[in-house]
Structure 1
Amino acid sequence: MPADATPDPYRDPLAFGQRMQLLRTRRGMTRETLGGLVGKSASWVKQIENGRLRTPKLDVVLAVAEALRVRELSELTGDRAHHVPLFGGPGHRRLPAVAAAVDALALSDDRPAPPADHLRARLARAWSARHAAPDHREVLGGLLPELIRDARLAARQAQSAADRRSAQAVLAEVYSLAQFFLAYQPDGHLLWRVAERAMVAAQESEDPHAIGMAAWLTAQAHRDAGPGHYDAADQVTHEVLDHLGAFLPDGPDEVRAIYGALQFEAAYTAARRGESGRAWSRWDRAVSVAERLPADYFHPVTSFGRAILGAHAVTVAVELHAGGESARQAARAEATAIPSRPRRARHRIEQARAYHLDRRPDAALATLAQAHAAAPDTVRWNGYAKRIVLEETAAPSPERRRRAARLAVDIGLLTA
């Protein structure tokens, strides 16, 4: 092997601490930051990395994996005998078709574009199908390729300035729909490409609702990229909140709802930073917006409305690592009021995280089973759900291990 070649880490295996250090530095994360994310000190991180402390127990290993956002547990442990995907996986079977539609230029496509009203009706049906289907990624994966091609064609063939703006608004929303499919898929570059195209199309449309939706999803993409991107998430959120403020007095409910959803995004990012006062203050603002919407209002993209406020409170408490408070919020928030199956399943996962933080593993497993019943696709691709299930497969209680193992089989972590 050449002297300057990169060694094969599996031929001369790296210790757990060395892998942790490699992954930490690759993400540009300090020891203080990693320690804070897993409830340890910077000194503990240093001692693990230099081998003075032994490999920690499974719950801590999974917490480190979550903080470092590794997609495959063997990246951290070095054990290739057990492949355990965490925040991604091999990819949905429809991912190649969606990616091909996003990447295609289709400059030779000269067929007449579908009318704008036809595209909007298809888009509305796609959102409805996503909210109603337990296998929502399968449904979206089947609809998106043709919808992406037709929406781009309509934007390219628009004749007047007004028609072009209208077509760009539809295209931005199609890209927003695509982001729901691409979340937690093993192609981060494709997700960012779609997010950026959605924002460009939204700005071209000059439509405040389209701009708000694109910002809502872009802020999430920044936040999920890690602590180094929290400032970018805040910048997008606050800039678009300022922009939308002028449309609120006479604007439609959908603009008010996206404004409320962005207030919650600001709360979510603040909670990730550990800024409790700011997080709950922004949540209060989201509540104030929701209370000015009709009681049964449900935003078709963000799920924002009065029914979602309890779920948002659980998320804030969980991200602040407030075990007792998150469990209280989880017990108070009623999931059945949320009309969207995937959003209801996501709320159940957040409730499970709350019970897990509060050291109530039986409640956490039972709630994850409810999430799986609501929308298996949501649980199957969610790293937090996988972490809890994996941890409980090594629980001291035989009954809890059996329950966790059954759930692990259901969501594809283990084979029967």
Structure 2
Amino acid sequence: MSADATPDPYADPLKFGQRVQIIRERRGMTQTQLAGLIGISPHTLRKIENGQQKAPGLEMVLRIAEALRVRDLADLTGRPEAHVDLFAGPGHPRLAAVRAAIDSFPLMADVEPPSVRHLEARLHAAWKARHAAENHREAIGKLLPDLIRDAQVLVRHADSSADRRSAQALLSQTYSLSQFFVAYQPDASLLWRVAERGMVAAQESEDPHTIGVAAWLLAQAHRDSGARHFDAADAVNAEAVRFLEPLLPDATEDVLAIAGALQFELGYTAARRRETGAAWRHWDKANTMASRLPSGYYHAVTSFSQAIMGAHAVTVAVELHQGGESVRQAAMADQSVIKSRPRRARHRIEEARGYQLDNQRDTAVASLEKAFEAAPETIRYNGYAKTILLEEIESTQAARRRRAADLAAKIGLLAA
């Protein structure tokens, strides 16, 4: 077995299970907690840990590694000759500074607040920078500490009810931007603090668009916590859709777009449950809303637009495990231009999943290469991309194996 090969958890299932138990206990997690995070029953996890059940496949191994925040897959599998660096150190270099700003609540009133217009302009520029940058976490990570501090100060200094609502809207929008930075980094509790504070500030703002955005992000936090949290995600999404529905006949473009994005999220969760009819029905509703938007419109937070619906169709087909349909949708989606670099990279990763489902593995690797070209930081933090690369690193096709290994090295997946 080469030094770059994917570890084989089947080689010694008892050792694998014991290592899961040891690392879980070091993390202070119960079997019930870990099982919930990875989407299996505590009984199944117990059988894995005590060796009564064969070690799981690669996808589940990676989910266990992510839940336990294992830095090197060799630590989990017991194969020291096969180092695969999954979660490098403390996350993004700017994570500590962003975390400190989020956790800080300065009580002194000696800081001069910015004007609402000034903070609005800075937030607008930050969103533009995120969409345009290859390394979007770096682009917004350096801006967030000051934005968070100034938004908090603006709320604290608000003199009237109207001023306070405006300030709360800007604070919620700042937390929304923060969630894009914090997502998929090794601090789940920080993600939840950001999502929940964003929702509270949005409600205080009483602004429909701000509330819709906060709900969209809070629902994603629930959904990405695992299958057992899908109902909570749907509840948040559905409540927000009901809240916005009376406004839609005369809605602004932004309100219409966030309503469409929420509608699609209901379809995405349905697809992950393999509920085919519900998934495509919600996609159709979202597509109808997108058709009411100008052709060049692009929602600053969700990327919702006419162009994004093709990418959303690929995602639905992939989650439904419809390989042929996902490839067909990918071909149609290529006719649209996704302006945001990180969203374009995410779409390429979804394409890669579809091509892999359809057994077009060379094309899947090529799609991941395109994702890297669009936004290296997107693929670097994406578990689906890592899973595909880990599988293709062991391909019997030498050319594909080399391409996968080269890309894995570029994103820091393979240890030097």
TM-score range, shorter chain: 0.7 to 0.9
Offset at 1:335? 7.2
Answer yes or no: is 1:143 the counterpart of 2:171. Answer: no
Offset at 1:90? 3.1
Question: Deviation per CA, 1:22-46, whole angstroms, max 9, x where unpaired?
Answer: 9774334499x649xxxxxx99x99
Q: Which amino acid counterpart does residue 117 of structure 2 have in structure 1? A: D
Q: Which amino acid counterpart does residue 241 of structure 2 have in structure 1? A: L
Partner Cα separation in structure 2 for residue 378 and residue 398 of structure 1: 26
Match of 2:59 among 40, 58, 62: 62
Partner Cα separation in structure 2 for residue 292 and residue 149 of structure 1: 37
Partner Cα separation in structure 1 for residue 64 and residue 259 of structure 2: 29
Residue correspondence of structure 1 range 17-416 to structure 2 within 5 A = 17-18=17-18, 25-29=32-36, 34=40, 51=51, 55=55, 60-66=57-63, 69-70=66-67, 71-72=69-70, 73-74=73-74, 76-79=76-79, 82-86=82-86, 90-334=90-334, 337-415=337-415
Q: Percent same amino acid among aligned pairs? A: 59
Contact 1:62 1:391 in 2 (8 A): no
Specify whether residues 206 and 336 from structure 1 end up closer, same or farther in structure 2 by C-alpha distance, changes over 3 A only: same
Partner Cα separation in structure 1 for residue 131 and residue 254 of structure 2: 17
Q: Which amino acid counterpart does residue 401 of structure 1 have in structure 2? A: R
Offset at 1:326? 1.6
Between stretches 320-329 and 19-28, larger displacement belongs to 19-28
Contact 1:65 1:76 in 2 (8 A): no
Partner Cα separation in structure 2 for residue 29 and residue 218 of structure 1: 19
Offset at 1:109? 4.8
Partner Cα separation in structure 1 for residue 404 and residue 114 of structure 2: 49
Partner Cα separation in structure 2 for residue 351 and residue 389 of structure 1: 14
Partner Cα separation in structure 1 for residue 148 and residue 336 of structure 2: 32
Offset at 1:125? 0.2
Question: Deviation per CA, 1:344-374, whole angstroms, max 9, x where unpaired?
Answer: 0000000001111111110010000000000
Specify whether residues 287 and 67 from structure 1 end up closer, same or farther in structure 2 by C-alpha distance, changes over 3 A only: farther
Specify whether residues 87 and 327 from structure 1 end up closer, same or farther in structure 2 by C-alpha distance, changes over 3 A only: farther
Offset at 1:342? 0.4
Specify whether residues 330 and 76 from structure 1 end up closer, same or farther in structure 2 by C-alpha distance, changes over 3 A only: farther
1:27 alignment partner, SS class? helix
Between stretches 88-97 and 301-310, larger displacement belongs to 88-97
Number of matched pairs: 394
Other-structure match for 1:7: none
Structure 1, unaligned stretches of length 5 or more?
Answer: 1-12, 36-41
Q: Which amino acid counterpart does residue 227 of structure 1 have in structure 2? A: A
Question: Deviation per CA, 1:241-267, whole angstroms, max 9, x where unpaired?
Answer: 000112112221100000000001101
Partner Cα separation in structure 1 for residue 163 and residue 37 of structure 2: 50
Between stretches 77-86 and 141-150, larger displacement belongs to 77-86
Contact 1:86 1:382 in 2 (8 A): no
Contact 2:83 2:415 in 1 (8 A): no
Other-structure match for 2:5: none
Other-structure match for 1:9: none
Q: Which amino acid counterpart does residue 77 of structure 2 have in structure 1? A: T
Specify whether residues 222 and 30 from structure 1 end up closer, same or farther in structure 2 by C-alpha distance, changes over 3 A only: closer
Other-structure match for 1:6: none
Between stretches 74-83 and 368-377, larger displacement belongs to 74-83
Specify whether residues 30 and 63 from structure 1 end up closer, same or farther in structure 2 by C-alpha distance, changes over 3 A only: closer
Offset at 1:66? 3.3
Other-structure match for 1:10: none
Q: Which amino acid counterpart does residue 390 of structure 1 have in structure 2? A: L
Partner Cα separation in structure 2 for residue 271 and residue 206 of structure 1: 32
Partner Cα separation in structure 2 for residue 330 and residue 365 of structure 1: 15
Partner Cα separation in structure 1 for residue 136 and residue 366 of structure 2: 22
Contact 1:129 1:136 in 2 (8 A): yes
Q: Which amino acid counterpart does residue 374 of structure 2 have in structure 1? A: A
CA RMSD of aligned residues (A): 2.6
Question: Deviation per CA, 1:1-56, whole angstroms, max 9, x where unpaired?
Answer: xxxxxxxxxxxx9522455689774334499x649xxxxxx99x998666466546
Contact 1:323 1:354 in 2 (8 A): yes
Partner Cα separation in structure 2 for residue 400 and residue 47 of structure 1: 36
Partner Cα separation in structure 1 for residue 175 and residue 118 of structure 2: 17
Question: Deviation per CA, 1:163-201, whole angstroms, max 9, x where unpaired?
Answer: 100110011000000000001110000010010100000
Contact 2:267 2:280 in 1 (8 A): yes
Offset at 1:317? 1.1
Contact 1:88 1:185 in 2 (8 A): no
